[in-house]
Amino acid sequence: MNVLEAADVVKTFREGTESVSVLRGASLSLARGEIVALEGPSGSGKTTFLTILGCMLTPTSGRVAIEGRAVDPNRPDRLPWLRRTSIGFVFQQFNLFPALTAAENVEYTLNLKGLKGKSARIEAARVLEAVGLTDRAHFLPRDLSGGQKQRVAIARALAGSAPIILADEPTANLDSQVGSQVLELFRDLAKRENRALLIVTHDPKVRGVADRVAHIADGVIQN
């Protein structure tokens, strides 16, 4: 069974008196342990599609299902719960809290998922070890390199065992060598922990770690 499915997703935005269709029937599926790269030019709908898959935006029409259960667009109150329990996010800007250490950034995400105290500290230590940052656990973001910040962001996404990881241009702010290291880390963790990983990217190096490459153009995906 696919852990994530999107079928015929349409998203239309209103701009004044006109409607703009960003997605025109986009479909994609991911299985556990599978890594999919989603490529496409700027304005093709990549980020909008990722935002819908991440339950941060509802589609105009179409179906999204997580672990076999359809996401009900008429129940927006359930979307935060789905984001907390089923989805981990990695952003190109890292989005770390500057006043929190690496460990505290991960623990904060776990707190939002309902895991607190000693259990959160143990889980944060586990995922930071998995990304090779045990010795940087108590460093603030300002004292970390770009690659280390992205590793914290990956650890935060992995924390709590969400089955789906969505990454938006995760290597965009990294140099070529560090970007390659981060991608290899992504692949190792996705396979070892049996997570489904979707990477929206312009970076051709992502193809080297992906099991499958999908292309989006004019709001439609070609698998």
Q: Which helix (H) or strand (E) holds 134?
A: none
CATH superfamily of the 35-56+75-222 domain: P-loop containing nucleotide triphosphate hydrolases (3.40.50.300)
For 70, half-sphere exposure in the C-beta direction (CA atoms, 13 angstrom radius) is: 10
Determine the Cα–Cα distance for residues 63 and 72; give it in Å rounded to an integer. 9
Provide the token pair at 159. 């924390």
Provide the token pair at 88. 């981990």
For the entire predicted model, the pTM comes to 0.90
pLDDT band with cut points at 50, 70 and 90 for residue 189: confident
Task: Please indicate whether residue 78 or residue 108 has the higher confidence score (pLDDT).
Answer: 108
pLDDT band with cut points at 50, 70 and 90 for residue 73: confident
Asked if residues 87 and 196 have their Cβ atoms less than 8 Å apart, the reply is no
Maximum Cα interatomic distance, the chain, rounded to a whole number of Å:
55
Determine the Cα–Cα distance for residues 170 and 182; give it in Å rounded to an integer. 8
Residue 156's nearest CA partner among 91, 78, 79, 201 is 91
Asked if residues 11 and 21 have their Cβ atoms less than 8 Å apart, the reply is yes
Burial bucket for residue 155 (CB in 10 Å: 0-12, 13-18, 19+): buried
Q: What is the pLDDT of residue 122?
A: 95
Residue 103's nearest CA partner among 121, 80, 115 is 121
Domain ranges of the chain: 35-56+75-222
Computed on alpha carbons and rounded to an integer, the radius of gyration of the chain in Å comes to 17
3-class SS at 46? helix
Per DSSP bridges, beta strands 196-201 and 35-39 are: parallel
DSSP code of residue 136: G
Provide the token pair at 62. 């179409």
pLDDT tens track for 79-137: 888 888 899 999 878 899 999 999 999 999 999 888 899 999 999 999 999 889 999 99
Q: What is the mean pLDDT of the segment spanning 180-200? A: 90
pLDDT band with cut points at 50, 70 and 90 for residue 14: confident
Which of 51-55, 103-107, 163-167, 187-191 shows the lowest mean pLDDT across its residues?
187-191
Amino acid at 22: V
pLDDT for 1 beyond 80:
no
pLDDT for 223 beyond 80:
no
Q: What is the pLDDT of residue 7?
A: 96
Q: What is the pLDDT of residue 80?
A: 85
Determine the Cα–Cα distance for residues 32 and 57; give it in Å rounded to an integer. 23
